[in-house]
Amino acid sequence: MNDNRSRMDLDRLSPYVRVALDHYLAPGWKIRERALFDYELLYVKEGTLRVTLEEGDCEGVPGDLFLFKPGQRHAITVTSDVPVRQPHVHFDLIYLPDSPDVKVSFKPIEEMTPAELAMIREDVCSAPPFELPTRLSLRNPSVFESMLLDLIRDFRIGLPYAGAAAKGAFIRLWIHLLREHAWSVNPHLHSNWERLTKVKQTIDHTPEQDVSLAALADMAGLSPFYFLRAFSQAFGMPPVKYAQTVRIGKAREMIQFTSLPLTEIAERVGFRSIHAFSRAFKRIDGVPPSFYRGKNA
């Protein structure tokens, strides 16, 4: 098992697409228990199958998506009388020096050599920030299906820069999947998305306005407590802090690209005094406003 363990975040995301196939499994086909070295996304487009996991069996029907993780025991059996069409992708989420050399495993862990065991990637999808289950339900399978088939088509054609194109296509696919999962876990975010983005856009376009949680919640038509929780989950920080960050960002631009006095810039972004502005600027940005004016000079 790879010992280079660290918490996965999107800044480290550098996928390597190993296999991308639009494949059929015949009726009665079985894949015996195995464990993968890498990840596999398997989408059921036609037919039905049964996936056997350590925690039990689950059925796969058209529109279902499975994410098999490194080292995870699983077996697959076709249960329909028609072939199962199963577009799938094998990938590493983070490119490693041996990524081009690793093959797809069809062995159980007990039959692997020490060298093969060392090829099993770190499973970063079962822990924060992803925490993705093996079986995923999609709100709109046709959108994901179209993206997946486009990725597979481009990968198989092998045009110039196919590897880089596959990386970009996979990142778009992965972000779509993460959003689907986030909305399924937090359905209130999806149902209130327009209200939340309306408030965010208002903050973005009017950074000079001094805002309060109550006023922003009223703009969204939600209770302050509910709005605070939903906005923080959607955009990664509380709304008042986000507004402060936008104001400081606008001030930073004016300091760098204009010759306006700092006192005037402070007024333009809604601060009543240069002292309050300087304190807020250093709290948000980590340096005083004069830092950027010095750079500009």
User: Chain-wide mean pLDDT for the chain?
Assistant: 90
Say if residue 94's pLDDT is above 50: yes
DSSP symbols for 16-44: EEEEEEEEEE-TT-EEEEE-BSSEEEEE-
CA-CA distances (angstroms) from residue 119 to 6, 29, 100? Answer: 17, 27, 12
The amino acid at residue 31 is I
Give the mean model confidence (pLDDT) for residues 228-234.
88
Tokens found for residue 197 = 């983005």
Query: For the ranges 38-42, 47-51, 186-190, 206-210, which has the lowest average pLDDT?
Result: 186-190
Tokens found for residue 208 = 């000079």
For residues 19 and 163, is the Cβ–Cβ distance under 8 A? no
What distance lies between CA 108 and its chain's CA centroid? 29
Which homologous superfamily is 191-296 in? Homeodomain-like (1.10.10.60)
Residue 43: partners with Cβ closer than 8 Å, 6 or more residues away? 64, 65, 66, 86, 87, 88, 141, 144, 145, 148
Residue written as token pair 């918490």: 7
In this predicted structure, what is the pLDDT of residue 182? 82
In this predicted structure, what is the pLDDT of residue 9? 64
10-185: CATH number: 2.60.120.280
Distance CA(248)–CA(229), nearest Å, equals: 23
Tokens found for residue 226 = 């509910």
CATH 2.60.120.280-classified regions of the chain:
10-185
* Residue 57, strand partner residues: 52
pLDDT, tens only, 159-183? 888 888 999 999 999 999 988 888 8
In this predicted structure, what is the pLDDT of residue 112? 96
In this predicted structure, what is the pLDDT of residue 137? 82
In this predicted structure, what is the pLDDT of residue 241? 93
Distance CA(255)–CA(170), nearest Å, equals: 39
Exposure of 20 by Cβ count < 10 A (0-12 exposed, 13-18 middle, 19+ buried)? Answer: buried
| Helix, strand, or coil (residue 65) | strand
pLDDT band at 110 (very low <50, low <70, confident <90, very high): very high
Query: For the ranges 181-190, 207-216, 277-286, which has the lowest average pLDDT?
Result: 181-190
Any idea what DSSP says for residue 159? -
pLDDT band at 1 (very low <50, low <70, confident <90, very high): very low
In this predicted structure, what is the pLDDT of residue 297? 43
CATH 1.10.10.60-classified regions of the chain:
191-296
pTM score, two decimals?
0.74
For residues 108 and 189, the model is more confident at 108
